[in-house]
């Protein structure tokens, strides 16, 4: 996963992202204040750790829980560019190994329910096939991503004959609760097609 989770800092790279399965939850609103966002992240981690422990116990297969990822968009992309987070929509997700099957996922949700109560609507295990994408590692606060994204969309994509095809994708390598904002690492990814 190094090529997908550790791109060079500040240098755009083109990757072909394979189909993977994720635990996912959809929502909308400002992630800094939305209770739905907080619940989605809490549930994704709760289910992901339940799956990790079940895999080790039942299958003898241990692994590290993957980082949190997010797909971001707005019905009016001007809201996204302006940073009007109250109008943003998102899908938060954590990749799951391919040997995790639906019955294990359902059992993990049932275990998490004992601690967390009612799961968020739309909590699911689903394949995501992103394909051809451009990505870069951003180091620093999330609020400072704008210039890098402007270079990606305004310079790199046109210069390389590429066009956006999917939702803005972020992979959070650092834990914002334990990492200083200037040291946060975030993979910024954009699915594309060749013109």
pLDDT of 133 reads 98
pLDDT surpasses 80 at 175 = no
Residue % of the chain over a pLDDT of 70:
98
Domain ranges of the chain: 1-17+130-195, 19-128
Measured CA distances, 4 to 24, 49, 88 (Å): 19, 22, 25
- Maximum CA extent, the chain: 52
Architecture of domain 19-128: Alpha-Beta Barrel (3.20)
pLDDT of 77 reads 67
pLDDT surpasses 90 at 44 = yes
Domains 1-17+130-195 and 19-128 share a fold: yes
| CATH superfamily assigned to domain 1-17+130-195 | Regulatory factor, effector binding domain (3.20.80.10)
Collapsing DSSP to helix, strand or coil, 23 comes out as strand
Q: How confident is the model at residue 179 (pLDDT cuts 50, 70, 90)?
A: confident
Q: How confident is the model at residue 174 (pLDDT cuts 50, 70, 90)?
A: confident
Tell me 161's DSSP state.
T
Nearest 5°: the CA angle 29, 192, 168 is 15
pTM of the model: 0.94
In degrees to the nearest 10, what's the CA dihedral of 59, 171, 73, 191? -90
Instruction: Quick: pLDDT tens for 86-128.
Output: 889 999 999 999 999 999 999 999 999 999 999 999 999 999 9
């Amino acid at each position: 996963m190094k090529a997908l989770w550790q791109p060079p800092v500040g240098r755009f790279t083109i990757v072909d992202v394979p189909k993977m399965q994720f635990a996912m939850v959809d929502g909308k609103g400002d992630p800094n204040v939305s209770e739905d966002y907080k619940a989605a992240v809490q549930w994704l981690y709760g289910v992901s750790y339940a799956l990790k422990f079940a895999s080790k116990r039942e299958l003898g297969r241990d692994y590290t829980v993957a980082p949190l990822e997010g797909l971001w968009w707005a019905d009016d992309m001007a809201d996204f560019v302006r940073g009007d987070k109250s109008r943003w929509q998102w899908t938060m997700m954590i990749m799951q190994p391919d040997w995790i099957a639906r019955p294990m996922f359902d059992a993990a949700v049932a275990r998490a329910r004992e601690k967390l109560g009612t799961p968020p609507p739309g909590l699911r295990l689903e394949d995501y096939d992103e394909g051809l994408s451009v990505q870069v590692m951003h180091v620093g606060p999330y609020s400072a991503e704008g210039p890098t994204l402007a270079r990606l969309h305004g310079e790199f994509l046109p210069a390389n004959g590429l066009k956006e095809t999917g939702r803005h994708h972020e992979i959070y390598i650092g834990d914002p609760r334990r990492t200083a904002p200037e040291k946060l690492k975030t993979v910024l990814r954009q699915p594309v097609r060749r013109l």
